[in-house]
Amino acid sequence: MTPFMELLVVLSCLIVQAIAVPRRLARQSRPNWPVQTFQSTSFKPPLLQVTQSNATLADGLVVYTPSSSSSSKNGESASAMIMTDSGELVWNSPIGLSTNLVVQTLFDNPVLQYWTGTVDALGHGYGKVLILDNTYTAIYDICPDLNVIGTNGSRPICGIDGHDSVITDQGTIVVTTTNVTTADLTSVGGPTDGWVFDSLFYEIDIKTGAILLEWSALKAGIPINETHEPLSGTGNNQSNAFDWFHMNSLQPYGDKYFLNSRHLSQSYFLDSKGSIEWTIDGYGKTGNFSVPPDALFKWEHHARIQNVTNETAILHYFNNNNAAPIDNGTTPTTGLILQLNFKNHSASVVQKLSVPDDPIFTPAEGSLTLLSNGNRFMGYGTIPIMREYGPQGDLRLQLQYGIVTPTPSAFSYRAFKQVWHATPAANPVCVVKEGTVYMSWNGATDVTEWAVYGGSANETSALRQLGSVARSGFETAFNLTGGVGYVSIAAYNGSEWLRNSTVISVL
């Protein structure tokens, strides 16, 4: 089973969160991971187990796509989510398979982007990228026909896969996908006319949909026999293609590109036309840089490059070090930050992030982000844990959203901590149950207070203010005091009015 299969095939319902604070930074196992429930919505996010030191955390919200196995009994459903780092739900997307929820910038405005789609029997996803503005209105629905073929021999209507999609400063987006095609597999013990997943990426103009660049691992001439993925009976037919390359990271950098192959444990820096300028090999056996033992990486995710000069560059990886059943549970997963030296063609370690007394072994998925205050945020992929480290590598925050042992019950392909402000296009909602008004506004980030109105007639002009209440998490409650047939609510940010709900009947 390929790593992305573990993300998608297992996926059938989603875990979301709430909040509990244990006494120490440690992973906990529970027979059934609890979820939050609300009166004003059907969302069921998982209860976040939050453990925090007294050290400074970065500003921002937790942005991720948690999912649970089909054996869950709590009624969770797959979706994209935003939460606070104390466990409060902020936004829940429509139900559906999703990955790569992330805040990006498009035409100088912050946007929210995520992939959603379907998956074939082998776990390779095909779908589209949605770009939402700060009202959660979909302003672009990127669904290109990329002329790729799946294992069933058909062309998907929307050809993007869920591994990576990044908006550029030029108003384009780079996306990954796979194409099932033929290749000579004799170098790895397979047939001459074998079948493989060719990893591709495209750069697409967001406004026009025009394809500006196509890149293929096969056409780039990367040797198939450099893969560390075993053939294991695959490659004999179209329905069981060999996933030799497995592109899981793609990043535009200026007019160039940085991409990663998990199954080769190699990263490539490409020029503007897609030609390879240099390669770094995580095993240290090939490529353009000498890699010392402490800088080696394998089965890695979320490769990123920054601070490139003529002399040096910084790379960072979610360094899985594990890939079930290969290397499974042998070496702890780390956040790995490297410096490349272009003069002597060497790599050296800047920092490794882990907790020696509480190691995590992540066989698939995961992410590492360097935050603006110097902290680092890691989502541990198929292990339902997120961690925030300080600049010196001290653990400052741990968020757990599922059972870890003996079998992880939840996962999120990536997880981020990002600043996001939004006022939804949809109105806030309220319901009344047993004399209590419950109110919420899915996606609103800046509500501080609610005003509650009531009266005897179903008209806004007939309502009077009954009181106000400070916002308390995703859903806030207000007790009614009789003689009211209809109510509505209004959201405020301090003294600034934001929006009213519709008027509803108390009965």
Global model pTM greater than 0.85: yes
Q: What confidence score (pLDDT) does residue 368 get?
A: 98
Whether residue 92 has pLDDT greater than 50: yes
Contact (CB, 8 A) for 316 and 338: yes
Average pLDDT, whole number, for the chain? 91
Mean pLDDT across 85-103? 94
More confident residue, 9 or 99: 99
Surface-to-core class of residue 13, CB atoms within 10 Å of its CB (0-12 exposed, 13-18 middle, 19+ buried): buried
Whether residue 103 has pLDDT greater than 50: yes
Contacts of 88 (CB under 8 A, 6+ apart): 18, 19, 473, 474
Contact (CB, 8 A) for 289 and 280: yes
Whether residue 1 has pLDDT greater than 90: no
Whether residue 14 has pLDDT greater than 50: no
Grouping H, G, I as helix, E, B as strand and the rest as coil, residue 295 is: helix
Mean pLDDT across 487-504? 97
Whether residue 74 has pLDDT greater than 60: no
User: 372 vs 44, 314, 368, 376, 452, CA distance in Å?
Assistant: 31, 15, 13, 9, 39
Rounded CA separation 445/136 (Å): 12
Question: 230-276: per-residue pLDDT in tens?
Answer: 999 999 999 999 999 999 999 999 999 999 999 999 999 999 999 99
User: 230 vs 197, 224, 253, 289, 408, CA distance in Å?
Assistant: 14, 11, 32, 25, 25
Whether residue 489 has pLDDT greater than 80: yes
Place of tokens 């033992």: 293
Helices and strands (DSSP H and E) totals, the chain: 1, 36
Contact (CB, 8 A) for 420 and 60: yes
Place of tokens 């006022």: 423
Pick from 452, 449, 430, 437: nearest CA to 492: 449
